[in-house]
Structure 1
Amino acid sequence: MVYRSPLIDKLPKGSPFTVNEASRLGVPKASLYRLRDSGVIDQLGPGLYFLSRSLDADLDLLEAAYKAPLATICLSSALARHGLIDEIPSTIDLALPRGKTPPKIAGPITWHQFDKATFDLDRTLVPIEGVEDARIGIYSAERSIVDAFRLRASAGYETGIEALRNWLKRPGSQPARLMELSTAIPRSKGPLRVAMEVLL
């Protein structure tokens, strides 16, 4: 038999919540655990919950955005979202400013530390589908290409080449914009210029 309780109506319907937030809304910890154990709510991660079937979203991204508001989709994950590479990454690449400690997340996340001085360069926020008001950072296609060349040893040189080749085929692509970004981001300009000379 499924456990029913009027306390369910007090919990947020479209966003995750913590034990403390549930308590402030009038749902005691013991009741929250009873709701979890009966399958009425699900555990998104340590200390983070949501109403079952109330979310149709990427739960790993949601947990990351909730626990690390500066988390930004980067490298292969950003390139795939921008449609610049065919690879489907096995983990989600997320960047934080250097010095920020990545939170513990149950899902397949690979954390990267980016320089504070350039962290916000070409970074925007995008909605997390299925969750009202939930957003996460993502780097632009251009910034993601530049980062792929900057971190070519770990990202893979071929990844940068594939993304650059596909980006250059798009109407309105401006190679000068890539070079401008690479000037601001150390260790990317030389390799990017060589690749552009070959592909153009």
Structure 2
Amino acid sequence: MRNSREQSVIELAKQMGTIRIKDLLERNIHPEYARRLVSKGLFIRSGRGLYVLADSEITEFHNFAIIGKRVPKGVICLTSALRYHNIGTQLPRKVWLALRRGSAQPHLSYPPVSIVRLSGDCFSEGVEERQIEGVTVKIFSPAKTVADCFKFRNRIGLEAAIEAARECLHGKKATSDEIYYYAKICRVWNVMRPYMEALSFC
């Protein structure tokens, strides 16, 4: 038989999807109750200090939900965002995460992340909020992601950036005008222009 504290933790997990130790402490609930629920098979420890209900649906983008909880101000970007939007063929081994320039470095033991730093409109524009496993996750839009791929082409590869632009346009995930808008913000239009012009005739 579960006590009232354990039931409170279960109800909280139903509301929030993934809960942190911090969420429990803010409600004056000792973390030991979450650990007890793990031992009873009712909870799963999905990451350091993170718990989900054992019968909850674990999606393909579970790692994004973990990051949404642990680094709520970060934005999923580059090939990870492409994967979420179903653009291209990239399968990143780490989650690409954008942080505001000058912000603190997150301490994440899991999932593995690759971090890029952005500032001003290049960080704040084109952000979408999606619900993944009950967690609000920030992800750059398809058009913004294409511009970012060219901005960080030296890290992900020029071929990946070109593929992102081609598949984004052909799949009607974004228009040329939308991509142009973010390319200007990211100051990469001069780099992108010949590729975008070539794609417009494909």
Name the TM tier (shorter chain). 0.7 to 0.9
CA distance in 1, matches of 2:25, 2:96: 33
CA distance in 2, matches of 1:110, 1:138: 15
Structure possessing the higher radius of gyration over alpha carbons: 1
Is contact 1:45–1:63 with CA below 8 Å preserved after alignment? yes
Aligned partner of 1:8: which letter? Answer: E
Q: Residue in 2 aligned with 1:59?
A: 62
Q: What secondary structure, in the 3-state scheme, does the structure 1 residue paired with 2:137 have?
A: strand
The CA RMSD measured in Å over matched residues stands at: 2.5
CA distance in 2, matches of 1:114, 1:21: 29
Q: TM-score, normalised by structure 1?
A: 0.82
Judging by fraction of residues, say which structure has more helix: 2
In the alignment, structure 2 segments of 5+ residues that lack a partner are: none
Displacement of 1:20 in angstroms is 4.9
Q: Residue in 1 aligned with 2:8?
A: 10
CA distance in 2, matches of 1:106, 1:114: 22
In the alignment, structure 1 segments of 5+ residues that lack a partner are: none
Is contact 1:124–1:139 with CA below 8 Å preserved after alignment? yes
Q: What secondary structure, in the 3-state scheme, does the structure 1 residue paired with 2:122 have?
A: coil
Q: Given the alignment, which residue of 21, 37, 41 partners 2:39?
A: 37
CA distance 1:117–1:103, change in 2 (3 Å): farther
CA distance 1:139–1:41, change in 2 (3 Å): same
CA distance in 1, matches of 2:78, 2:69: 21
Q: Deviations over 1:3-44 (max 9, x none)?
A: x52243111232232335435656434444333334332222
Q: Given the alignment, which residue of 21, 24, 30 partners 1:22?
A: 24
CA distance in 2, matches of 1:107, 1:171: 31
Is contact 2:101–2:117 with CA below 8 Å preserved after alignment? yes
Q: Residue in 1 aligned with 2:98?
A: 95
Question: Which 10-residue stretch deviates more, 76-85 or 138-147?
Answer: 76-85
CA distance in 1, matches of 2:35, 2:184: 52
Question: Which 10-residue stretch deviates more, 146-155 or 24-33?
Answer: 24-33
Identity of aligned residues (%): 22
Q: Number of paired residues?
A: 193
> After the TM superposition, which residues 110-189 of structure 1 pair with which residues of structure 2 at under 5 Å, given as runs?
110-128=114-132, 130-131=133-134, 134-170=135-171, 174-186=175-187, 188-189=188-189
Q: Deviations over 1:128-169 (max 9, x none)?
A: 1x32xx211111111111111111100110011112122332
Q: Deviations over 1:68-96 (max 9, x none)?
A: 11221211111222232122222221212
Q: What secondary structure, in the 3-state scheme, does the structure 1 residue paired with 2:139 have?
A: strand
Q: TM-score, normalised by structure 2?
A: 0.81
Q: What secondary structure, in the 3-state scheme, does the structure 1 residue paired with 2:13 have?
A: coil
